Chains A and B, each alone.
Chain A
Amino acid sequence: MANPTLPKNAPFGPEDIDFLNKLVGRSTPMQRSWLSGFLAGLDAAQGLGGVQAAAAPVAAAKPRVPMTILYGSESGNAEALAFKAKKVASKFSVDAKVVDMADADLAQIAKVKNLAVYISTWGEGDPPQRAVDFYKALMADDAPRFDGVRYAVLALGDTAYVNFCETGRRIDARLEALGGIRVVDRIELDLDYQKGAQAWTDGMLAKFQPADGGTATVVHVDFKASAAEGDDLEEPVYTSENPCEAEVSALVNLNGTGSTRETYHVEFAFDAPEFTYEPGAAIGVLPENDPALAADLAAAVGLGTDAGLVAKLARQFDITTLSRGTVDAFAKLTGRKDVAALLEGDALARFSADRQLVDLFETYRETLTAEQLLKLLRPLPGRLYSVASSLKAHPGEAHLLVGAVRWASHGRQRKGVASTFLGERRKSGDKVRIYVKPNRHFGLPANGDTPIIMIGAGTGVAPYRGFIEDRVETGAKGQSWLFFGERNFTNDFLYQLEWQDHLASGALTRIDVAFSRDQPEKIYVQHRLWERRDEIRGWIADGAHLYVCGDEKGMAKDVDGTLARILADGGDDAAGLAKLKDLTKSGRYQRDVY
């Protein structure tokens, strides 16, 4: 088709005609359809009505395709992508509705025509917690058939884990097995998923759009849509792609001398009014690697003298994660059979246990060029921490509680990238790039009178500091009860003086503590919950919201079980679990676990 050109007598200036020719010239049929609809509806939407009969072609803009975008999200990434997909769907004549697996009814989902799944994998190949029930039902023998359901799966994961994107893989295979029709191949994305996800979504929607979507129809453009969609996710201004440069304004190890812990209270100050967050949100930190490790890594491949490269490695690349993809690429690059052998069976799982990239290079010595090395690496991802402050109490600041990660393995002292970046390699006054990750599933009740029970161990206490600070600022009158656990009372009571102040002022109603190593028997928060079970039932009866934050395996799982037992109130465990699920469904039981 020849390039269309606007006639010279079109009601535009020569420059505009030139510009429009360029734009229209490279547009796709779909884009032109959309533009037609947009222009036709524009004046009507603005109430001008000066242009004649613009509505007629709009009515002819059908057919449109319905689509269900189903997501299962742990940290909110899959959720954000799902809502983003919904936003762009209308451009493709696709009417999308977004459903959280946590709320989804499997039988209903099995009946939809078009299904896009955005699913993340958590930990060692598990589905996100709130998606567990849906996932189990889908995998169960009595799962409904998906005959004729056209579907596509976007899988998020982290190549640092062996079972990368496992949940996405399984769901994809399961939908096919149940009779679904895969319209677009599954994509598996690592932590730097943004661009890949956008491209896949566009391509996927194009495949789902109506067969005649390419003809010169006019697409209906709903001008009220963006305002009307209440459940849309608002994307924060500051993201991992567009971070905010903040200054470290305070940095202190909260653990007393002699503690077995190392937990940093980090305060960031920023001059950025758009940097906003609610208590319960996460703050992302774009860290840098330990320069010593970057130097070791470069040296291991014979590039130790390249200072520029070492600096680049420290700042921009993930130099710790030892993933299958990297080993594969390294084996191909070097042609080494012994490296390739790592990819067979469980050899890699055995080798990579407690090892990092530097161990691969030090074990299988090869000299690489800088370009070859960088090609093996993924970008350095950001790290998320639950925010420990209320923006209302600390305007222009965000506080984090960061547990330093350190361990020794295979003759090397290892350091958590972000935690030691903050705790050890930053000092007051340094700049750090941070961003916001809202959490729709962990936050204070809208009603300030609602009682809250906050359960957290270790750094899991962080969001509650924000909660209480926020309630002080808003004058919320609701009762609050904190259950805090750590190892030793004397040195590990995070924010002890602040809790004492909050208790004295009444901002915090009650506190119970569990210090596991102060006495011969281990006491954890779940033991304290059980001791207080009668009162907890009373609080729940009074409408209390429950929160759990902290380590899943170390705490949250046991807290779940204990809460179920408390709710069972002498009845069987299943009854307690059902009650706990009801609380979850109604948003009264919220978890932020990792």
Chain B
Amino acid sequence: MSDTRSKNESIKEKSRLLRGSIAEGLAHVETGAIDEDDTQLLKFHGSYMQDDRDVRGERAKKKLEKAFSFMIRLRLAGGNLTPEQWLKLDDIAGTYANGTLRLTTRATFQYHGVIKSNLKRTMQAINAACIDTIAACGDVNRNVMSAAHPYLSKAHKSAEELAKKISDHLLPRTGAYHEIWLDGEQVVTSEGKSQPESEPIYGTHYLPRKFKTVVAVPPDNDVDIFAHCLGFIAIVSKGDVVGWNVTVGGGMGMTHGETDTFPRTADLMGFCTPEQAVDVAEKVVTVQRDWGNREVRKNARLKYTIETHGVDAFRAEVEKRLGYKLGAPRPFKFERTGDRIGWAQGHDKKWHLTLYVENGRVKDTSSRKLRTALREIAATGGVDFVVTSNQNLVIANVAAKQKAKIEAVLAGHGVEIATSSAMRRNAMACVALPTCGLALAESERYLPSLITKFEDILDAAGLRDDEIIVRMTGCPNGCARPYLAEIGFVGRAPGLYNLYLGAAFDGTRLNKLYAQDVDEARILKLLEPLLKRYAKERHDGERFGDFVIRAGVIKATTAGNTFHADLALAAE
């Protein structure tokens, strides 16, 4: 019988629990690459092999192989860091990576540009900061994010704790990570347990595809809960979390031109008590492990499993494995996605500064030395750092008397707290070129200049302070969650994007394709009249994503499986 499983399944199967020949590959000093199969396994260890695509053209004639390097992503459940950790991570960026820290759309850090000969030392330096990278990527439960203002209420603290518990509970148990990177040394996990050499939850084939979990605290949907495989929504009574609504089956990625792939907003599956939450997470993962599609990798995520079996059947199987029923979802109300930029005071009177970080890139430029400023703030101590789900950073737990000093440090390095337009503060772009192997078009390096052009239009229309969510990705995989943006751009080819409109501001509704393969000139030509109309014709409090639907510009996408339906593309 022929093996109809996807190639990754046999790679995992032969890998001896994620070892493969990674260690041997590191010893081959003549190449900056590792074996192709091992690149799939390396993801489970938190790293992607990449190459600098800007220079691909010149390398062969210079008798050089591709400019390989590695992206390393941290597992940072809850997104919290001490100032000591911040300083260590900053050191690593300067010593082994490209001098920048990249905050991600999944509330963690990644480093770019680490060459193979430094991979192991970088992993060890990260470990020395009491952080690891295992399961930051790969076909496992990845970094678990939670609402980013953990100090604003007790509920946020509960959310952060649940995120950490789920992350630790669903960690791969293989010893491969410690063996390869830490010379067998055990990393300090919050569970503090040694790792047995078997995978009781995942089995030898792990999950069919990546798996993403988040924890939200209404009314903020900063984690974009409907874009994720598994979500927990805090149900709060008198300040305490009394349980969690459980969502399943959200996801962003799709493939251009293949309508059996689509982004999908998650379904509400039920309600669980605080004590049940970790167990529920485990059972959802095991059902996906057993039911997920292992033949067609692009249909392997949980959202397609739910689409295939229906949420009722899925819930029934989860309940069977739990041995008890889930409760009916409790009422909740999200108001918004994105972050609230600026200062906010917590229940304990401490202050928290949510800092806008363009594209999540913590770096120094000649006029704006964000990296240096954050280093100084970390070195002063007395604060914590929280990475948000929107590539921004919270300087948390600031005493009232410290506020002025932090503002002075930031201002002294040219870092404004409330920068430019509300659109820019809500904009997200994925990394894309030159390091991401999937990118079809620019994203991080391009979106800021496009926003600048929008800002002229916004100023003319009087919309500078209106929050409109703009997101861009270099490929349809959806790292910056473009299908949940009121204005979404997805790269098709260099300089060309698909333009999507009509997502809900609170993250509950996907957008829809409005124009295909448009360049900048056409983007501006299409959006300028719409923004002007919005300024003039909107109802009180009406969001741009809702307006374009009411105005008949685009049809509402009511579910993932209608994402590709009811298209009415803009006239050429």
CA separation between A258 and B115, bound complex, in Å?
15
A496: contacting residue among B54, B61, B63, CB under 8 A: B63
B residues less than 8 Å from A497 (CB atoms): 60, 63-65
| B-contact bits for A250-269, CB 8 A (1 contact / 0 none) | 00111111100000010000
> Any chain B CB within 8 A of the CB of A272?
no
* Closest chain B residue, CB of each to CB of A495: B63
- Complex contact A256–B55 (CB within 8 A): yes
B58-110 interface with A by 8 A CB criterion: 58-65, 67-69, 95-96
- Complex contact B58–A257 (CB within 8 A): yes
B residues less than 8 Å from A513 (CB atoms): 29-30
- Complex contact B29–A256 (CB within 8 A): no
A residues less than 8 Å from B31 (CB atoms): 500
A61-86 interface with B by 8 A CB criterion: none
- Complex contact A519–B121 (CB within 8 A): yes
Q: What would be 29 A-B contacts, judged by CB atoms less than 8 Å apart?
A: A252-B62, A252-B63, A254-B62, A254-B64, A256-B58, A256-B59, A257-B54, A257-B55, A265-B63, A489-B32, A489-B115, A489-B116, A490-B32, A490-B52, A490-B67, A490-B115, A491-B64, A491-B67, A496-B63, A500-B30, A503-B30, A511-B30, A512-B29, A513-B29, A518-B118, A519-B95, A519-B117, A519-B121, A520-B95
A residues less than 8 Å from B96 (CB atoms): 519
CA separation between A425 and B31, bound complex, in Å?
33
CA separation between A483 and B116, bound complex, in Å?
18
B residues less than 8 Å from A496 (CB atoms): 30, 63-65
CA separation between A493 and B117, bound complex, in Å?
13
* Closest chain A residue, CB of each to CB of B54: A257
Q: How far is the CB of A19 from chain B (nearest CB, A)?
A: 60
| A-contact bits for B23-36, CB 8 A (1 contact / 0 none) | 00000011110000
A500-558 interface with B by 8 A CB criterion: 500, 503, 511-513, 515, 518-520
A residues less than 8 Å from B115 (CB atoms): 489-490, 518
B residues less than 8 Å from A519 (CB atoms): 95-96, 117-118, 121
Size band of the interface chain B makes with A: 20 to 34
A residues less than 8 Å from B117 (CB atoms): 489, 515, 518-519
A390-424 interface with B by 8 A CB criterion: none
B residues less than 8 Å from A490 (CB atoms): 32, 52, 67-69, 115
B268-310 interface with A by 8 A CB criterion: none
Binding site for A on B (CB under 8 A): 29-32, 52, 54-55, 58-65, 67-69, 95-96, 115-118, 121
Q: How far is the CB of B28 from chain A (nearest CB, A)?
A: 9
CA separation between A503 and B28, bound complex, in Å?
11
* Closest chain B residue, CB of each to CB of A254: B62
CA separation between A511 and B32, bound complex, in Å?
14
> Any chain B CB within 8 A of the CB of A499?
yes
Size band of the interface chain A makes with B: 20 to 34
> Any chain B CB within 8 A of the CB of A241?
no
CA separation between A52 and B119, bound complex, in Å?
88
CA separation between A270 and B263, bound complex, in Å?
63
A511: contacting residue among B29, B68, B69, CB under 8 A: B29
CA separation between A497 and B96, bound complex, in Å?
24
B residues less than 8 Å from A231 (CB atoms): none
CA separation between A252 and B58, bound complex, in Å?
10
Report which residue of B52, B54, B68 has the largest number of chain A beta carbons within 10 angstroms of its beta carbon: B52
Q: How far is the CB of A42 from chain B (nearest CB, A)?
A: 57
Q: How far is the CB of A397 from chain B (nearest CB, A)?
A: 16
> Any chain B CB within 8 A of the CB of A274?
no
8 smallest CB-CB distances across A and B, nearest first, come from: A497-B63, A513-B29, A496-B64, A511-B30, A254-B62, A257-B55, A490-B67, A495-B63
CA separation between A490 and B65, bound complex, in Å?
9
> Any chain B CB within 8 A of the CB of A15?
no
B residues less than 8 Å from A503 (CB atoms): 30
CA separation between A404 and B29, bound complex, in Å?
26
CA separation between A513 and B62, bound complex, in Å?
18
Q: How far is the CB of A123 from chain B (nearest CB, A)?
A: 31
Q: How far is the CB of A436 from chain B (nearest CB, A)?
A: 25
CA separation between A491 and B51, bound complex, in Å?
13
B residues less than 8 Å from A494 (CB atoms): 63
CA separation between A519 and B67, bound complex, in Å?
17
A493-B64, A496-B30, A512-B29 are known; give 19 further A-B pairs, CB within 8 A: A252-B62, A253-B62, A256-B55, A256-B62, A256-B64, A256-B67, A257-B54, A265-B63, A489-B32, A489-B117, A490-B52, A491-B67, A496-B64, A497-B63, A497-B64, A499-B30, A500-B30, A503-B30, A519-B96
Q: How far is the CB of A519 from chain B (nearest CB, A)?
A: 6
Q: How far is the CB of B121 from chain A (nearest CB, A)?
A: 7
A residues less than 8 Å from B54 (CB atoms): 257
> Any chain B CB within 8 A of the CB of A498?
yes
CA separation between A520 and B115, bound complex, in Å?
13
* Closest chain B residue, CB of each to CB of A257: B55
Q: How far is the CB of B29 from chain A (nearest CB, A)?
A: 5
Q: How far is the CB of A7 from chain B (nearest CB, A)?
A: 74
CA separation between A253 and B54, bound complex, in Å?
17
* Closest chain B residue, CB of each to CB of A502: B30
* Closest chain B residue, CB of each to CB of A494: B63
Q: How far is the CB of A280 from chain B (nearest CB, A)?
A: 21
* Closest chain A residue, CB of each to CB of B61: A252
CA separation between A36 and B52, bound complex, in Å?
77
B residues less than 8 Å from A489 (CB atoms): 32, 115-117
CA separation between A85 and B118, bound complex, in Å?
57
CA separation between A252 and B63, bound complex, in Å?
9
B63: contacting residue among A257, A258, A498, A520, CB under 8 A: A498
A residues less than 8 Å from B65 (CB atoms): 496-497, 500
| B-contact bits for A265-302, CB 8 A (1 contact / 0 none) | 10000000000000000000000000000000000000
* Closest chain B residue, CB of each to CB of A493: B64
Q: How far is the CB of B74 from chain A (nearest CB, A)?
A: 21
* Closest chain B residue, CB of each to CB of A263: B62
CA separation between A497 and B60, bound complex, in Å?
8
Q: How far is the CB of B307 from chain A (nearest CB, A)?
A: 43
* Closest chain B residue, CB of each to CB of A489: B115
CA separation between A384 and B117, bound complex, in Å?
35
CA separation between A347 and B187, bound complex, in Å?
64
* Closest chain B residue, CB of each to CB of A500: B30
| B-contact bits for A345-357, CB 8 A (1 contact / 0 none) | 0000000000000
A residues less than 8 Å from B32 (CB atoms): 489-490
Q: How far is the CB of A510 from chain B (nearest CB, A)?
A: 10
CA separation between A493 and B31, bound complex, in Å?
10
Q: How far is the CB of A249 from chain B (nearest CB, A)?
A: 14
B residues less than 8 Å from A257 (CB atoms): 54-55, 58
B residues less than 8 Å from A515 (CB atoms): 117
A residues less than 8 Å from B30 (CB atoms): 496, 499-500, 503, 511, 513
CA separation between A127 and B121, bound complex, in Å?
45
